[in-house]
């Protein structure tokens, strides 16, 4: 595959849309529409787990792009610094924790947009006084409800929310969608 040309067809405040012409291995020219962030950032996607209960922290948030609510992991845009995940977790859920692992920079939706993110794994001590009555620090544009979900209840939890009209982020299905591997 080889990119031949790209032209901007929309240029907004935060995003642009381009039409990309590329050539496949057989020499045929093809066209694809791509979304680009104006400021390239590396986001964080947060897999936060309460200890000792081992429940995951999930959130339901309104998203204008789908004109609806989506059940998702906490996340945010930033500089790529994994410590930004601690800030996002506190703002969106009210919880504090410690980072236990970080992925390399990964592509999130490469078929559509040039987004990148790190997966940041955070342990949250639910017995800590700071986590007894967590208080969110939401921005005006945020409408977020927090849920604590055990691994074994995750799939049924997601299916129930889908029945109620809530969308589900694909990464949650990766986490909860399979009850067990069979061979």
Q: State the pLDDT at residue 181.
A: 54
Of 128, 141, 135, 106, the closest CA to residue 14 belongs to 141
At 10, the pLDDT band (50, 70, 90 cuts) reads: very high
Residues of the chain with CATH 3.90.79.10: 42-176
Q: Using one digit for the tens of pLDDT, what is the confidence trace for 107-149?
A: 988 888 888 999 999 999 999 999 999 999 998 888 999 999 9
> Domain 42-176 adopts which CATH fold?
Nucleoside Triphosphate Pyrophosphohydrolase (3.90.79)
Q: Find the DSSP H helices in the chain.
A: 84-93, 154-163, 170-176
Q: Using one digit for the tens of pLDDT, what is the confidence trace for 68-103?
A: 999 999 999 888 799 999 999 999 999 999 999 999
Residues contacting residue 88 through CB under 8 Å, at least 6 positions apart: 44, 46, 74, 75, 76, 78
Q: State the pLDDT at residue 141.
A: 86
């Amino acid at each position: 595959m080889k990119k031949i040309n790209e032209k901007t067809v929309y240029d907004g405040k935060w995003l642009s849309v381009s039409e990309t012409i590329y050539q496949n291995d057989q020499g045929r020219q093809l066209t694809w529409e791509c979304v680009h962030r104006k400021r390239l950032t590396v986001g964080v996607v947060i897999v936060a787990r309460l200890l000792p209960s081992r429940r995951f922290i999930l959130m339901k948030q309104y998203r204008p792009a789908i004109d609806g609510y989506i059940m998702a992991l906490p996340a945010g845009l930033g500089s790529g610094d994994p410590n930004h995940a601690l800030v996002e977790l506190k703002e969106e859920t009210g919880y504090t924790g410690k980072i236990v692992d970080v992925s390399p920079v990964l592509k999130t939706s490469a078929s559509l947009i040039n987004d990148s993110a790190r997966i940041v794994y955070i342990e949250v001590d639910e017995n800590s006084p700071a986590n007894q009555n967590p208080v969110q620090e939401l921005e005006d544009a945020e409408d977020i409800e927090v849920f604590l979900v055990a691994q074994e209840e995750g799939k049924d939890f997601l299916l129930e929310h889908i029945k109620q009209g809530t969308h589900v982020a694909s990464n949650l299905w990766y986490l909860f969608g399979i009850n067990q591997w069979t061979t």
